[in-house]
Structure 1
Amino acid sequence: MAINNINQLLIRNIEALSATRPLLVNIEDQGFISQYLSQHSAANIDSYHTNYAEYKTCQQIQNARVNAHFCVEYVAKTKHDMAIIHFPKSKAEFSFTLEMLAESMTENATLVIVGENKGGVKSAEKLGIDYLEYCNKVDSARHCLMFIGEYKTTLPRFELQKFYKHYQIQVQEKTLEIAALPGVFSQNALDTGTEILLAHLPDIMAGKVLDFGCGAGVIAAYIGTVYPQTKLTLVDVSALALHSAQTTLSLNKLSGELIASNSLSDVRERYDFVISNPPFHQGVKTHYAATEQFLADIKQNLARNGCITIVANSFLKYLPIMQEAIGKTKTLAIKKGFAVYQCYLNNKD
């Protein structure tokens, strides 16, 4: 397995990262955990993830000294003397993470912050000024930086709702209330791709609908409002997105099933309609494999005459994937750099 740059930086500093109750925050394993436990024989690790795929990987580690967690708000049963934090893609999410973890750390606990230069980690010291007594750069390698910090003694109590962004959108004469946590797609406004997708939904929708890669729940909320006879299921890999989507549904007096899933790993049912503005970013990197895999596998989750409608950047070659994996696919629109594709299973036209 190739080890990413962040873990290479951690491994080269592994002797200095001594703790008895370390907390890993969105750190991919890639063998780092076993090396850490070998180096620090008295340590017991908690590994907290907002990414379901990374959580499942960590959960599979067969070691009683490792506990994996997937949730929005982490609260420690036993306080930690160190936290190793992967600097998130959203700077607002960094503040969210620091404030959330404060109550889970012992007095004088060490904070280790690591991230790629192009991912914004250079701003860790500036962004942490309200939370940290100090935040000092201690190493640099593989286009990554490592900072060491310590919490201030007095910090505000963490309130999840404080970090929500709320806004209204107007789509096809329908007004929706949207709520999103930091780092969630569509956190601040309706994105262009989703706006174009919502203008090209099937004319009639009923039965079971899957919103794949739901983000803040914009697509599902709109469908549930326009087509109240639908049964909504929302899927995302992010705990922050799923919590946001649930909040958006509630604000619009809607209900739905929310599923944490690595692509379609935990999706079991078949759906009459699958609607998606599928993600193509993983952290700060452009990453198409997850969406390509979703399109290749979604047929197994379509009802007999099910329909899938997606929007994507028009330069992405999703049309031939859909043609091969699902069936005859139409291009409904190409607008503002986006394309809307639609395929009905068993379509004979």
Structure 2
Amino acid sequence: MSSIIVNQILSRNINILEAQTPLFINLKNDVFIQEYINLYPQAELSCYNINFEEYCDYQSNKKVQRFFTAHYQTEKKHDLVIIAFPKSKAELNFTLSMIAHATDENTNIIVVGENKSGIKTLNKVTEKTLINCSKYDSARHCILFVAQLSKSIAPFTLDDWYDYYSVDIAGTQIKVAALPGVFSQNGLDKGTKILLENLPNIKPGDMLDFGCGAGVIASFIGKKHPEVKLNLLDVNALALESSIKTLALNNLTGNVFASNSLSDVKNKYDVVISNPPFHQGITTDYSATERFLEGIKGYLHNNADVIIVANSFLKYEPIMQKTIGRTNRLLSQQGFTIYQCKK
């Protein structure tokens, strides 16, 4: 049995999931996926994930056509769509609008999620995007809804979904663009604000923004220190697309790429900076940041700096001290601490 409870409720209802061209959105690859393929070998299964780690997990499954992108596009018409309920309600409507071109009036839309995710509010959240939305099953602290897409959904254009705002700190102003669900979508978060207001000296050379989100930190440094070469990494496709947009708004260029922690990092850097993420969907998960801190030393030039801001209760300092080098607390303020260490 799957260890992922949203997949357990899907497995429990697998007999209603027969389809020719199903699309699974942000479902994790586990025994349910293989169970589905075995029961419906005729199905041309497409799996779209905005999380790079989850996308990579499908790599060995040759029966799955997989996608990792901010904007899913296809010539297919899907007769079934299954969506894992996201942390961000705006992201769900973004996703439903995005797939409208690939569905018709007969396409069943199944949304599944844990009770604690907020899925009980599905009818209210999707009142403009879903019709005939009804609870089909409830089990294992999850709910499975069945619905159809509204015919009144406007044609999807990615640019319509960005939220914009400006950041002005110590005379350096940047413009920010963020898609639904991206960290700090609606405004600058407290940790990043504290970091930028108290930013230590940034040396020239190659800089990596780990967990870049909408590209706020890298863009601020790019405006303030134009001699720095910007590199931005995130696990989330919507974050990467937002960072590209933010860089363009500020007339900056940078290397923006996907990576699961350090999985796809190839180069060495003079500065690594981060307000590291510790959430995956609705769950708290420190593992990606801990792997980053434990492994980053191999991607640093000599005398490189690692600068992070994090909630003060997080135990990152001893990891940095042990695996990178002497670590200093530059500032503790409003529940956040800025750490700096040198290789």
Aligned: 1:200 with 2:169: no
CA distance in structure 2 between the aligned counterparts of 1:156 and 1:295, rounded to whole angstroms: 44
2:170 to 169, 172, 176: 172
1:234 to 212, 232, 235: 232
Query: Counterpart of 2:110 in 1: which secondary structure?
Result: strand
Contact 1:59 1:67 in 2 (8 A): no
Query: Counterpart of 1:291 in 2: which secondary structure?
Result: helix
1:247-287, Cα deviation, whole Å (9 max, x unpaired): 00000000000010000100100000000000001111111
Letter of the structure 2 residue corresponding to residue 45 of structure 1:
L
Task: Tell me the residue number matched to 1:254.
Answer: 252
CA distance in structure 2 between the aligned counterparts of 1:124 and 1:161, rounded to whole angstroms: 25
Identity rate, percent: 49
2:323 to 314, 322, 325: 325
Letter of the structure 2 residue corresponding to residue 8 of structure 1:
Q
Contact 2:2 2:31 in 1 (8 A): no
Task: Tell me the residue number matched to 1:116.
Answer: 114
Task: Tell me the residue number matched to 1:54.
Answer: 54
CA distance in structure 2 between the aligned counterparts of 1:320 and 1:194, rounded to whole angstroms: 22
Task: Tell me the residue number matched to 1:284.
Answer: 282
Task: Tell me the residue number matched to 1:30.
Answer: 30
2:132 to 119, 130, 134: 134
Query: Counterpart of 2:105 in 1: which secondary structure?
Result: strand
**Superposed structure 1 runs of 4+ greater than 2 Å apart:** 152-155, 199-202
Distance 1:316 1:2, change over 3 A: farther
Moved more, 201-210 or 315-324: 201-210
Cα distance, 1:153 vs. partner?
2.8
Letter of the structure 1 residue corresponding to residue 50 of structure 2:
T
Query: Counterpart of 1:50 in 2: which secondary structure?
Result: coil
Letter of the structure 2 residue corresponding to residue 66 of structure 1:
V
CA distance in structure 2 between the aligned counterparts of 1:143 and 1:247, rounded to whole angstroms: 38
Contact 2:27 2:83 in 1 (8 A): yes
- Structure 1 spans left out of the alignment, 5+ residues: none
Query: Counterpart of 2:106 in 1: which secondary structure?
Result: strand
Letter of the structure 2 residue corresponding to residue 122 of structure 1:
K
Query: Counterpart of 2:107 in 1: which secondary structure?
Result: strand
CA distance in structure 2 between the aligned counterparts of 1:75 and 1:127, rounded to whole angstroms: 24
Cα distance, 1:2 vs. partner?
5.7
> Normalising by structure 2, what TM-score?
0.98
CA distance in structure 2 between the aligned counterparts of 1:229 and 1:134, rounded to whole angstroms: 56
CA distance in structure 1 between the aligned counterparts of 2:42 and 2:174, rounded to whole angstroms: 52
- Structure 2 spans left out of the alignment, 5+ residues: none
Letter of the structure 2 residue corresponding to residue 28 of structure 1:
K
Task: Tell me the residue number matched to 2:334.
Answer: 336
CA distance in structure 2 between the aligned counterparts of 1:41 and 1:253, rounded to whole angstroms: 49
CA distance in structure 2 between the aligned counterparts of 1:242 and 1:171, rounded to whole angstroms: 23
Contact 1:125 1:134 in 2 (8 A): no
Root mean square deviation, CA, Å: 1.1
Cα distance, 1:233 vs. partner?
0.3
1:316 to 307, 314, 317: 314
Letter of the structure 2 residue corresponding to residue 55 of structure 1:
Y
Task: Count residues with an aligned counterpart.
Answer: 343
> Normalising by structure 1, what TM-score?
0.96
